[in-house]
Amino acid sequence: MIIITGGAGYIGSHTVVELINNGFEILIVDNFSNSDIFMIGQIEKITNRKIQYENIDLCDSKKVFDLFDKYEIDSVIHFAAFKAVGESVDNPLKYYHNNLLSLINLLFAIEKNPKIGLIFSSSCTVYGQPDILPVKEENLIKMAESPYGNTKQICEEIIQDVVRVKNIKAISLRYFNPIGAHESALIGELPIGTPLNLVPLLTQTAYGLRTLNVYGNDYDTPDGTAIRDYINVNDLASAHVCALKRLDEITPSFEVFNVGTGKGTSVMELIKTFERVNDIKIQYKIVDRRQGDIEKVWADTSLANKELKWKAKISLEETLISAWNWEKYIRNVL
């Protein structure tokens, strides 16, 4: 059985679908603090399978240990974490408490049964603002620009230290910027309250719910707006299937892989592409830069391409169409 912590969340739900489609038995573990139980039913619609889940806060060590005693677990994919850069700047203790303690509790449980593999949901924020682009896994890890990014750095260090002295297999996938939705439009990014990521802000603006803020147009980039590596969430989900297979092949160790497209796209390019493929005009305004944001980053994915036998396949255009289809669907459901 594969445990997916945060499996009702955005990336988690898409990964659950991908795992089920590849024949894995899964268990979602989520406390629904930053997700909605509604997504469990949506996953069931897509997969035509009854989904097992446990409502557990991973910061509660007793509940984590009880969970590992209850089920026969092969691997854990650990998504569950707070993830908003801006919020982490405003409320750092919330992020350090949740993101570090949840991982530590999981590692204590895995330590008792080291045959259980771990795939950790990391982030390109661990690189800070890279000096060299595209960024490679061996790039210098610089001081994080936000408490969120720092939690990912610290979590990777914790895993590495544990693996060094315990007989554990672990893989860290450093995500770049996941966007889009499942092709069925039945699952997608469902932020609680005001969205903190660009694409749900963009789709809600397209739906007439808000005006989109573009944070800064004075960066050292071709159009002055920040550049990111935007990857389709379904491509990202497929990387976890490849990582699970990799865990079966390796000896106890800690490996790190970038998961992106290898292409940088500016905020303004993304907006213009969304307008073109969905035939809709977006109302936006330029505002000051946001603390914690970096100027530009995109991935070198050659290591994941070679060792995981994985590569991003879905175009930006198709991805932005899927995001808009999801927004229209969920507005009719809510």
Domain that holds residue 52: 2-183+230-260+300-313
Asked whether 77 and 28 are in contact (CB, 8 A), the reply is: no
Q: What pLDDT sits at residue 10?
A: 96
Q: Annotated catalytic residue: which of 53, 148, 175, 230?
A: 148
Does the active-site annotation cover 71? no
Asked whether 232 and 180 are in contact (CB, 8 A), the reply is: yes
Rounded to whole angstroms, the Cα distance separating 213 from 288 reads 9
Bond from prior residue into 134 cis (ω within 30 degrees of 0): yes
* Structure-derived torsion over alpha carbons of residues 35, 37, 43, 48, reported in degrees to the nearest 10: 170
- Summarize pLDDT for 83-96 with one digit per residue, the tens: 888 889 999 999 99
Rounded to whole angstroms, the Cα distance separating 234 from 249 reads 24
Banded model confidence at residue 196, pLDDT cuts 50, 70, 90: confident
Q: What is the mean pLDDT of the chain?
A: 95
Structural domain count of the chain: 1
Q: Is residue 308 part of a domain?
A: yes
Find the CATH number of the domain harbouring 140. 3.40.50.720
Please tell me the pTM assigned to this model.
Answer: 0.96
Residues 6+ apart with CB under 8 A from 165: none
Nearest Cα to Cα of residue 326 among 211, 198, 200, 210: 200
Q: Is residue 222 part of a domain?
A: no
Q: Is residue 28 part of a domain?
A: yes
Q: Say what angle helices 147-165 and 92-111 make with each other, to 10 degrees.
A: 20
